[in-house]
Structure 1
Amino acid sequence: MNAASPAVFSMRFPFRFLRALAGGACMALAIGIAHADDYADVNQLLRSGKADQALAKADTYIAGKPRDPQMRFLRGVILTEQGKRADAVTAFTSLTQDFPELPEPYNNLAALYAQQSEFDKARAALETALKLNPRYTTAQENLGDIYARLAAQAYARTEQLEPGRATVPPKLALIRQIFATPASGALPAAPVDNRKPVRQ
């Protein structure tokens, strides 16, 4: 996540963004075999670095089947990978409105909010995802990252208000250490989860 908090403290978190690119127990129960080729084609285009073509194919598919949650989810992933955050937020928000029982769009909304340092919105989205699926470990881990980020902001603010306070720097250092990569000290990019939304 990109931090846009006070200059005193800035870090990136390994926020787990859900993708629709690999198998596993996914929406296979909610879709027919005939559609599998369409999803595979869009996924292949995206994996091949042809995001524009993937988006065009997804849009064509959705024009004929506007209630298909899996392709709409995949479209949101494509928009995110293209850096079209506002469009991705719109896509995932629309999914939460049309399919409020799916936790995965809430997770991806949280990732997008977190990238914009909107941590209260991210926390609310993750809490919703976890109400829908209390065993959703990706959302649970992301919620932990959000709480750590909120804690870091509070500690940074404390340092600004009282620079000589001895208890704060070790806490900030610990949070930075948790998310730093051991080799270079650089902070990691956000890894990607490979599950798809499951319509319940």
Structure 2
Amino acid sequence: MWLVALGMGMFCQTARADEYADVTQLVRVGKLSAALVKADAFLATQPRDPQMRFIKGVIQRDSGDPQEAIATFAQLTQDYPELPEPYNNLAVLYAGQNQLDKARSALEMAIRINPGYATAHENLGDVYAKLASQSYSKAAELAPASQATLGPKLTLIRQLLKTPVNAPCKMSDSACPKAN
């Protein structure tokens, strides 16, 4: 009897892996509506599955629905606070809306959970650079005479910010790529 249960458990894991692969493949080829339908169908039977919920957040983001993606990733951080990737993706969405303090907080949490998470460190550096740019700009506005010292700093920060910001990483990646 336990062999049957073990076999069923292995079948379910394989079936789940296939579902993840199917949904991910639909996302890769740009069939976001179909991917969302398939993800929702999976989540109807397994609503707490963190990996499919994560994928759903990516689909929502890629579909141009950042508010829904934010809600999905925020709920993941509540339900699975030990996972750093939802915090990173949440931060990228916040940064895209210029909510830099929220982005910074989310990235700091991702790093607290996984100090070796290079993508989160780099994204935090990008957020700090944007915050620095805002502070330098405000200082220049308040004290125009300080242009001699602020001008070069603003130029340097603006050059740094021209480089593309990392895309969110996939939760299934053990070492997140810089962009995906």
TM range (shorter): 0.7 to 0.9
- Work out the percentage of aligned pairs sharing the same amino acid: 54
Question: Which structure 1 segments of 5+ residues have no match?
Answer: 1-30, 182-187
Q: What is the TM-score of this pair, normalised by structure 1?
A: 0.76
- Between the two proteins, the alignment pairs up a number of residues equal to 162
User: What are the within-5 Å matches in structure 2 for residues 168-183 of structure 1?
Assistant: 168-180=150-162
Larger Rg: 2
**C-alpha distance in 2, partners of 1:47/1:196?**
15
- The Cα of 1:48 is off from its aligned counterpart by 1.1
Decide which of 35, 38, 42 is 1:54's aligned counterpart: 35
Hey, which bits of structure 1, 4+ residues long, moved more than 3 A? Answer: 190-195
Q: Does 1:94 align with 2:69?
A: no
Of 143, 147, 153, the residue aligned with 2:124 is 143
For the aligned residue pairs, the C-alpha RMSD in angstroms reads 1.8
Give the TM-score taking structure 2 as reference length.
0.84
Structure 2 residue runs of 5 or longer lacking an equivalent are: 1-11, 175-180
Q: Distance in 1 between matches of 2:61 and 2:135?
A: 29
**In the aligned structure 1, how far is the partner of 2:42 from the partner of 2:68?**
18
Bigger CA drift: 36-45 or 172-181? 172-181
| 2:24 is aligned with 1:43 | yes
RCO higher in 1 or 2 (8 Å CA, sep ≥ 6)? Answer: 1
Aligned to 1:167: 149
The residue identity in structure 2 corresponding to 1:196 is: M
Q: Structure 1 residues 119, 193: CA separation in 2 closer, same or farther (over 3 Å shift)?
A: closer
Contact 1:92 1:105 in 2 (8 A): yes
